[in-house]
Structure 1
């Protein structure tokens, strides 16, 4: 393992070799490592864009039990209905924990997966010890962010309706994360990452996008919509270049820091919205530091190691 290069040999895949039946779906999942459990929830389109890049920071997997699953409709996980709400996605996380006999876990989630994680914190706060949120894609409200999101969606939908499914997914990712994100995915995902993406595009466009548009949460109405704020430790990560690629991420970061007084913030250099693909070492380093500062028991607390890079701010 090198400190500066992303090198793990030829294939950087993580085999999700287990299955579990949940409500209206069957999920493929895997469990890596030992220690306190950390559930990883991926975003749209690229189901391998969280657990796979994290392999480039081995200390995380050496000290924690990472539970990664493919959301319903992705990479062999099936969905028996034509839709799945955000609340339903959060229920799947709960049912996976029930299946594994885990009463409480840390949650780490990215983008659309961060929305599911956020709903999980609202619906099942007793099951989450802490949460690491990598730019959860909460609904935009500022005019420039709303328009940018509409433009990204419409540009991708044009290609999707024309039958270019992979092009649609990549167009949307490029609009949200910037063009350098695609190269990062190419080098931090499995060799067949784009084949996997192409097979799952229907889920992205016909299940995920409708779910987020129908979700009832609004940042500006959070106090009225939520009876009790989540009180567990929360780390809000943000790519330092995310806002330059697409507006809206800064407003979400400000909301999390303002609404959750216990929240901590973390900036990931040289990264936009796809931070864990673009700078996985920094993301892993920051996640490990946060988890070690927030153990499930005081006896489990261990010192945070010296960073191997100047990754996280």
Structure 2
């Protein structure tokens, strides 16, 4: 895999060509969330989106095959990483698709460099200014998850303000690749944990870097900053996601914001409902790029072409997480 040697970090990335000689919608950059990697983006998603775009997926600093540095894990610093990567690749203007923490990076990038962003797709993103607390007790399905996690030996204070972060770390500590501990609970996102060692990588970040301190640094995305964003934004959120309060607040704040809810889905819907992500994203990208009506059959056909590759809905805890 290619490595971009930037001023402050070496980032791993992949490029996927568009299916047309000239991409109809230009370049789309995929930004994953915490404790994941570029492998979060299922191959069927990449193949389907490539009917309109050339795709670039990369590993965040300290994730996947990118370099682990002692510091540099705040949203402002990771936004600088994204800007440096685009400079390295010679990309002046792109579409951005970010999941969770990756979506916050994408929003910060759009606020800092509006001239470099055609459009934004935010998949289940939480912003602290709009949703200060992320307590497990407030999550719709916490009464279901709590006894299952307790059975696996995970006890958490459900009033912690950063419950999602603590849950992620607790699961990483409890997961054993040798015995597949927690895999039945954690099937959708943890399939990649078992293959890539993402759980070990996440714990390594906790123990050897400033990531905990850096994640408390302000992301700079105040309501005033969000109101000033003129970039077209598509918000895609699982209807059972714990970060729906952010979705509703963005709808009120952002002047060019389109909100779609994914039924019966939670935070990891790009993995459990990839078809919904692809269909909605393609229509949005085509609209923002002015794709002629006579070419719309290309992205209507994309879903059917890779239909057999989409994952079935898993019988796991994380179908609605």
Q: TM-score, with normalisation over the residues of structure 1?
A: 0.74
Q: Does the residue aligned with 2:61 lie in a helix, a strand or coil?
A: coil
For residues 149 and 142 of structure 1, the distance between their equivalents in structure 2, rounded to whole angstroms, comes to 5
Question: Structure 1 CA distance, aligned partners of 2:167 and 2:226?
Answer: 38
Alpha carbons 1:165, 1:198 under 8 Å: kept: yes
TM superposition shift of 1:298: 6.2
Q: In the TM superposition, what are the counterparts of 1:34-113 in structure 2 within 5 Å?
A: 34=18, 35=23, 36-48=26-38, 50-51=40-41, 53=42, 55-56=44-45, 58-113=47-102
Matched residue SS, 2:264:
coil
**Pair 1:166–1:227, CA change in 2 (3 A):** closer
Q: Specify every segment of 5 or more residues in structure 2 that has no aligned partner in the other structure, as ranges.
A: 139-157, 178-182, 308-321
SS at match of 2:72: coil
Q: Which residue of 2 aligns with 1:150?
A: 162
In the TM superposition, what are the counterparts of 1:182-193 in structure 2 within 5 Å? 182-186=186-190, 189=192, 192-193=195-196
The DSSP-based 3-state class of the residue aligned with 1:62 is coil
Does 1:24 find its partner at 2:18? no
Contact residue 32 and residue 61 of structure 1 kept, 8 A = yes
SS of corresponding position for 1:276: helix
Asked if 1 retains the 8 angstrom alpha-carbon contact of 2:14 and 2:56, the reply is yes
**What is the distance in 2 between the residues matched to 1:200 and 1:272?**
22
- Between Structure 1 and Structure 2, how many residues are aligned? 269
Structure 1 unaligned spans of 5+: 1-16, 171-178, 244-248
| Change beyond 3 A, Cα 1:208–1:294 | farther
Q: Distance in 2 between matches of 1:207 and 1:181?
A: 29
> Which residue is equivalent to 1:203?
205
* Superposition pairs of residues 234-245 of structure 1, within 5 angstroms: 234-243=233-242
Find 1:123's aligned residue among 92, 101, 112: 112
Structure 1 vs Structure 2 CA RMSD: 3.4
Q: Is the 8 A contact 1:185 1:278 kept in 2?
A: no
Bigger mean CA deviation after superposition, 263-272 or 205-214:
205-214
Q: What TM-score comes out, normalization by structure 2 length? A: 0.72
Counterparts of 1:204 and 1:289, CA distance in 2: 39
Match of 1:212 in 2: 215
- Structure 2 contact 33–101 (Cα < 8 Å) conserved: yes
Matched, 1:132 2:121: yes
Q: Cα distance, 1:258 vs. partner?
A: 0.9
Change in 2 beyond 3 A, CA 1:272/1:155: closer
Tell me if the contact between 1:242 and 1:271 (Cα under 8 Å) persists in the aligned partners.
Answer: yes
CA drift of 1:277 comes to: 1.3
Q: CA deviation at 1:191?
A: 6.3
Question: What secondary structure does 2:127 align onto?
Answer: coil
Q: In the alignment, which residue of structure 2 is the partner of 1:167?
A: 174
Indicate how the Cα distance of structure 1 residues 169 and 72 shifts in structure 2: closer, same or farther if over 3 A, else same. Answer: farther
How far off its partner does 1:54 sit? Answer: 5.0
